[in-house]
Amino acid sequence: MEFDGLVEYEAPRDGRSPARVLWEEERREDRLRDLEVRVLRVVRADPGPAWERVSTRLASLLARPRTGPRRCTVVRGSVPSWRSA
């Protein structure tokens, strides 16, 4: 789930044009989809009246079985501590 907004297009950083920001975003999303990562964009207005539509779409994405091999390993157990002792 990605929280999206207009600010990245209205005031892009690093001297990029809004068109460049959009192009880079689409390329990034293409790479995620190539890895069979499902993408759902949520915007500021969605948590209000539109939330039912968003939650239905999210449930649909999560219910759909994967078609290819997993590219990660699921490890069950406690969360490791990353702090050094």
Q: Could you report the per-residue pLDDT of 54-66, keeping only the tens digit for each?
A: 888 888 888 887 7
Tokens of 59: 């449930």
Residue with tokens 């949520």: 42
pTM: 0.57
Q: Which amino acid does the sequence have at 53?
A: R
Q: What are the domain boundaries of the chain?
A: 2-63
- The share of the chain scoring above pLDDT 70, in percent, equals 87
* CB half-sphere exposure, 58, CA atoms < 13 A: 12
